[in-house]
Structure 1
Amino acid sequence: MKIYNLKRAQILPISLAEAWQFFSTPKNLQKITPPHMGFKIKYLSGNEKMYPGQLILYKINILPGIPVDWATEITHVVEPYYFVDEQRFGPYKLWHHQHHFREAEQGVEMTDEVNYAIPLGFIGRMANSLFVRRQVEAIFDHRHRVLENYFAKKFVTV
């Protein structure tokens, strides 16, 4: 099995507490997911507050017009510094997503690190080279832009 890695960091002009509040709320994921993916939460175990063992079931379009169910489990939570979500079933053979937060001079440095694998052996490796890697990168590029705009609005003075 070939494991791929994507790591992105971004400085947000907010406090650590504000970052944690936003990113540890599962419903906010829809705000930062590209609209064409048709992201919808179908099931959220427990309550709104994230906790280890929490299950979240989503419906997403992996390709235009091809919706799939994707279930993740929140496996680790160390408030307000990091949490980890892992796919339990869905489009990947492996999806392990770490979310890290640390105070920085200009606010909070948020780091996403994703380790993922594609099913189907050689065909999966080809798919990653041809389009999957670009799709994963595009999702995180979109998040970066949305977060930059979303949190910049909080600090606009009139």
Structure 2
Amino acid sequence: MGIIAQNKISSLGMLFGAIALMMGIIHFSFGPFSAPPPTLESIVADKTAEIKRGLLAGIKGEKITTVEKKEDVDVDKILDQSGIALAIAALLCAFVGGMRKENRWGIRGALVFGGGTLAFHTLLFGIGIVCSILLIFLIFSFLTGGSLV
């Protein structure tokens, strides 16, 4: 307990980084947690029904009432942003711990956990970009009837 008391900031950074890394891995493994977005058909059907109701109300001379739909909370976006924020907080705690001349194991632990979380998110983003580019090449190849080479 004495080591943690002497290295408060870097220990807090390790905690933030470990929580952020666990959140990222669990969210990647078991996510997405939000409901899927509505289909294009349902959006078009809702809009046409609203236009029809508005036209009928206007023809009858009634007052047109609009219903504002409240945006749902996107749990996936909140988890991603909070994980990145915790990782940045871990890196800041490692910096402050280094300035306070705390023990190296705490500083390095906060750097590893915080940096690992940011690297994990960056790696996932990069894999998504590469897969998107390969998919575009595959579609163009299919449409032109040629090969990728």
Higher strand fraction: Structure 1 or Structure 2? 1
Verify same fold: TM over 0.5.
no
TM-score of the aligned structures, taking structure 2 as reference length: 0.34
* Higher alpha-carbon Rg: 2
Pick 1 or 2: higher relative contact order, CA cutoff 8 A, min separation 6: 2
TM-score of the aligned structures, taking structure 1 as reference length: 0.33
